[in-house]
Structure 1
Amino acid sequence: MNLPNKLTLLRAILVPFFILFFYLEQVPGNYIIAFVIFAVASFTDFLDGHIARKQGLVTTFGKFLDPLADKVLVVSALCCFTEKGLMSAIPLIIIVAREFMVSGLRLVTANEGVVVAAGIWGKLKTAFTMVAIVAILLFCCAGVTEKFEVISDVLIWISTALTVISGGVYLKGYWKYIDTDK
């Protein structure tokens, strides 16, 4: 297993630890630990892709696990935030629906031998969503979630808008593989 795949696997392994420390309020600094875990996991997303492309280490395993690890990390954080009342369930539902749609699209196009690569909108959506999550975690660390509720809401809704845009771009770009019943 190459280094990029190990980093991707590390990201997937870190998710339960993020969740654990996010909820362990009896542990002093639990939000700080959860923040550090999420930040490290997010950085592995950048690092694994950078190394894989630069050193020609792109693998089928990486193509499979990388987007899955990203989705699990992000959706886990958003679910935690929703349960704690730090965000509405509506953006979460939209984000998860888009992820199902893109995953389904990838399955359909794979049957045609076409790979749906991450485009600029998808990468922008992922990066901004991770930034929004980091910001919310920082508010949790500072214990000021109510004071910064508007900022958190704006960040999440921008992330949701980017999610809808990127989903629309993917759908438009690969519609011919779905619309075959003409």
Structure 2
Amino acid sequence: MNLPNKLTLARIVLVPVFMVFASLTQYGTADYNAVWYLAAGVVFALASFTDYLDGHLARKWHMITDFGKFADPLADKLLTTVAFLYMMRDGVCSPVVLAIILAREFAVSGLRMVAAGAKDGKVIAANMWGKVKTVLQMLSIIFYYFAAAFAGPADVMAVELLGSALCWLVAAVTAISGIKYLADNRHFINTAK
């Protein structure tokens, strides 16, 4: 297994670590919660950096593999969906936003399975809209966790409002990227048996 694929797997391994810290934000005093938000934000930022690094190295060293084309977006979906679930728990992200994100991810994953099962067995890599969507999702989540870690009592409402606005922006870009992805690859849907 090459290094870019190992970085993708490392991102998947970091998901439960993030979950531990994100779960701990519900317990203890405000000071402890700030530590847990910061820890969750650092782990998420590190995991997000592996997304950039694995793609950069795979392209630079010509190590793009079918496994990487499949596992990289899967790792991204796992990481960001889990984080948005915790943001929903915190009251920052609406269930509607999460439903839009999940609908897009299931639709695109389904399309990828149809394409892989086609007679030419094509693996569909992420397009530019998908990459923009992922970067926006990751930056929004990082913003929320770091803002929550450093927010004072007077800042909590502002963090929640800005976090909520970012969630809705993410939902819009996610929907657009899903529509574009399905439109660009509709021939797989039309030819599926």
TM-score range, shorter chain: over 0.9
- The CA distance in 2 between the partners of 1:124 and 1:60, in whole Å, is 21
Q: Residue 170 of structure 1 aligns to which amino acid in structure 2?
A: Y
- The CA distance in 1 between the partners of 2:178 and 2:23, in whole Å, is 31
Q: Which residue of 2 aligns with 1:155?
A: 166
**Are the structure 2 counterparts of residues 145 and 73 from structure 1 closer, same or farther at C-alpha, using a change threshold of 3 Å?**
farther
- The CA distance in 1 between the partners of 2:19 and 2:9, in whole Å, is 17
TM-score with structure 1 setting the length: 0.93
**Structure number having the greater helix percentage:** 2
Give the secondary-structure state (helix, strand or coil) at the position aligned to 1:147.
helix
User: Do structure 1's residue 131 and structure 2's residue 139 form an aligned pair?
Assistant: yes
- The CA distance in 1 between the partners of 2:76 and 2:37, in whole Å, is 20
- The CA distance in 1 between the partners of 2:39 and 2:161, in whole Å, is 24
1:59 deviation in Å? 2.0
Q: 1:8-32: CA deviations, max 9, x gaps?
A: 1111000111010112134931111
**Are the structure 2 counterparts of residues 153 and 48 from structure 1 closer, same or farther at C-alpha, using a change threshold of 3 Å?**
same
Give the secondary-structure state (helix, strand or coil) at the position aligned to 2:22.
helix
1:174 deviation in Å? 1.3
Q: Which moved more, 1:34-43 or 1:57-66?
A: 57-66
Identity %: 47
User: Do structure 1's residue 34 and structure 2's residue 40 form an aligned pair?
Assistant: yes
Q: Which moved more, 1:23-32 or 1:146-155?
A: 23-32
- The CA distance in 2 between the partners of 1:64 and 1:172, in whole Å, is 20
1:64 deviation in Å? 2.5
Give the gaps of 5 or more residues in structure 2: none
TM-score with structure 2 setting the length: 0.88
Corresponding residue pairs, total: 181
Q: Which moved more, 1:20-29 or 1:110-119?
A: 20-29
Q: Which residue of 1 aligns with 2:110?
A: 104
Q: Which residue of 2 aligns with 1:174?
A: 185
Q: Residue 119 of structure 1 aligns to which amino acid in structure 2?
A: N
Give the gaps of 5 or more residues in structure 1: none
Judge conservation of contact 1:86–1:145 (CA < 8 Å) in 2: no
User: Do structure 1's residue 8 and structure 2's residue 8 form an aligned pair?
Assistant: yes
1:180 deviation in Å? 4.0
- The CA distance in 1 between the partners of 2:156 and 2:15, in whole Å, is 22
